[in-house]
């Protein structure tokens, strides 16, 4: 979805600045942990946390972002106010449906970054498919 109005782009930058501040206050490796939790790559996290890019943060990732980054209550409230101003129709979807949670697994190092990535991808895909089956009624 393209952003047509400069005002909306400015509103997106406001909540992205808050996100970026929280992200930068966390230990190194947080972007990668967040990317894994969302099933995305690290460059996606960099893009959605950069106020210079008008690409909005998809609403389905907000709870994961809040959980993984451990948003302080004041920062979360400010973020949600800014997000609501930028996307008044999307914010309702944040409270709809099932919420997700993050689970960290400790796996053996397979000795190869390629094999490790394959195993990580397999487990992420399994979790996504299992979640989709559970959500079906």
Task: List the chain domain ranges.
Answer: 6-100, 105-137
Using an 8 Å Cβ cutoff, are 58 and 88 in contact? Answer: no
**The whole model's pTM is what?**
0.66
Q: Taking Cα atoms as reference points, which of 19, 3, 20, 18 lies closest to residue 90?
A: 3
Q: Taking Cα atoms as reference points, which of 102, 16, 91 lies closest to residue 55?
A: 16
6 has a pLDDT exceeding 70: no
98 has a pLDDT exceeding 90: no
The encoded tokens of residue 21 equal 């501040």
Q: pLDDT tens digit string along 47-79? A: 999 999 988 999 888 988 998 899 999 999 999
Q: Please tell me the predicted confidence (pLDDT) of residue 45.
A: 94
Task: Report d(CA 107, CA 120) in Å as an integer.
Answer: 9
120 has a pLDDT exceeding 50: yes
């Amino acid at each position: 979805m393209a952003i047509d109005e400069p005002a909306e782009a400015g509103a997106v930058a406001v909540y992205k600045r808050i996100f970026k501040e929280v992200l930068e206050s966390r230990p190194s490796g947080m972007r990668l942990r967040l990317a894994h939790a969302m099933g995305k790559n690290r460059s996606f996290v960099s893009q959605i946390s950069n106020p210079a890019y008008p690409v909005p943060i998809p609403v389905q990732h907000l709870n994961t972002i809040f959980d993984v980054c451990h948003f302080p209550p004041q920062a979360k409230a400010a973020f949600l106010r800014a997000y609501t101003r930028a996307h008044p129709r999307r914010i309702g979807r944040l409270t709809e449906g099932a919420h997700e949670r993050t689970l960290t697994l400790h796996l053996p190092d397979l000795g190869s970054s390629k094999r490790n990535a394959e195993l990580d991808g397999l487990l992420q895909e399994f979790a996504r498919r299992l979640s989709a089956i559970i959500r079906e009624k």
